[in-house]
């Protein structure tokens, strides 16, 4: 059995590789660091199953999965995810299986058993591939905010200076800031975490979750507004969160906020 493991984090790839070597010692394991690398590898190499991390910078697991399933002989797909049960249910409809980080050996043993059983019955493989093609194409193709899209996953990855990552609820984010070609969000404790997306991409993703653009460099969470203070030239200062962090709002964006909130 040939297995491709795709994850942008080396420790996660190493952990999954180690467990799979114990559970399926006869297997040949390959690794990809991101979705695009996985797609490129599978365009040239055939494997039986691909483990895909959902949240990766650039091409994420869903997009990679949809692309892979358009190939002539695609592998079975198992998603690796840290998302909520609600999101997992959507993946489980189409994927052969899913595994949750941190990985559990007994849970992965069941996954390997399911893979072996499915591979032994080619008809089931064909049915599985048809199902995942349909669901992934819908999930990747939908506009943000529609049912079953990424808007249902109400968490955002943030990266600390030491490289550690946190999965933070949208509701716990006060504002998002573009600074020196990088994007950060501030949580309720005032800690700033790096985001691997542009402000425009986040604006599109979060507009359905009470986030509003108030400046060319800022998105704010309406739920955390404490006070709005008139400033100069028709602008304002918006105070957010328990420490009343001050965010500038230009006159241009003030008009939109007034419209959205019936100011």
What pLDDT sits at residue 201? 86
Would you say the C-alpha torsion 98, 135, 89, 155 has a positive or negative sign?
positive
Residue among 84, 31, 81, 30 nearest 60 (CA)? 81
What pLDDT sits at residue 24? 95
Q: Could you tell me the strand order of the sheet in which 76-81 lies?
A: 28-32, 2-6, 49-53, 76-81, 97-100
What pLDDT sits at residue 253? 86
Residue among 100, 102, 59, 46 nearest 78 (CA)? 100
What pLDDT sits at residue 97? 82
User: In angstroms, rounded to a whole number, what is the distance separating the alpha carbons of residues 229 and 209?
Assistant: 24
Which long-range CB contacts under 8 A does 117-120 form with residues at least 24 apart?
118/76, 119/1, 119/48, 119/49, 119/76
User: In angstroms, rounded to a whole number, what is the distance separating the alpha carbons of residues 251 and 263?
Assistant: 14
Strand-pair partners of 97: 78
- pLDDT (tens place) for every residue of the chain, 263 residues total: 999 999 999 999 999 999 999 999 999 999 999 999 999 999 899 999 999 998 888 888 888 888 888 787 789 999 888 765 545 544 554 567 888 888 999 999 999 998 998 888 766 666 666 666 666 665 555 443 344 444 456 788 888 888 888 888 899 999 999 988 899 999 988 899 999 888 888 988 888 888 999 998 999 999 999 999 998 777 899 999 888 899 999 888 888 788 778 77
Through-space distance between the first and last CA atoms of the chain, rounded to whole angstroms: 62
Domain spans of the chain, in order of start: 2-150, 155-261
CATH annotation of 2-150: 3.40.50.2300
Structure tokens at 89: 């249910």
Backbone angles phi, psi at 251, to 5 degrees: -60, -35
User: In angstroms, rounded to a whole number, what is the distance separating the alpha carbons of residues 167 and 43?
Assistant: 32
Q: Which fold has domain 155-261?
A: OB fold (Dihydrolipoamide Acetyltransferase, E2P) (2.40.50)
Which segments within 127-253 are labelled E, that is strand?
155-159, 165-169, 173-179, 182-187, 192-195, 211-215, 218-221, 225-230, 236-240, 245-249
């Amino acid at each position: 059995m040939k297995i491709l493991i795709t994850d942008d984090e080396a420790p996660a790839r190493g952990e999954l590789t180690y467990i799979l070597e114990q559970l399926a010692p006869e297997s040949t394991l390959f690794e990809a660091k991101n979705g695009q690398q996985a797609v490129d590898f599978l365009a040239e190499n055939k494997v039986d199953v691909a483990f895909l991390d959902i949240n990766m910078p650039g091409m994420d697991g869903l997009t990679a999965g949809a692309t892979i399933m358009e190939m002539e002989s695609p592998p079975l797909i198992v998603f690796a995810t840290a998302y909520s049960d609600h999101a997992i249910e959507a993946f489980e409809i189409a994927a052969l299986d899913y595994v949750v980080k941190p990985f559990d050996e007994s849970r992965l043993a069941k996954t390997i058993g399911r893979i072996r059983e499915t591979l032994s019955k080619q008809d089931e493989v064909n049915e599985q591939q048809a199902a995942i093609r349909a669901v992934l194409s819908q999930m990747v193709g939908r506009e943000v905010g529609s049912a079953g899209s990424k808007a249902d996953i109400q968490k955002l990855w943030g990266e600390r200076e030491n490289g550690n990552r946190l999965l933070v609820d949208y509701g716990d984010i006060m504002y998002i800031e573009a600074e020196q070609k990088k994007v950060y969000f501030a949580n309720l404790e005032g800690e700033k975490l790096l985001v691997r997306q542009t402000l425009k991409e986040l604006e599109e993703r979060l507009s359905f979750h009470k986030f509003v653009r108030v400046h060319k460099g800022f998105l704010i969470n309406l739920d955390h507004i404490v006070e709005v203070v008139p400033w100069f030239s028709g602008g304002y200062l918006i105070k957010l969160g328990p420490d009343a962090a001050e965010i500038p709002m230009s006159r241009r964006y003030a008009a939109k906020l007034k419209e959205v909130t019936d100011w």
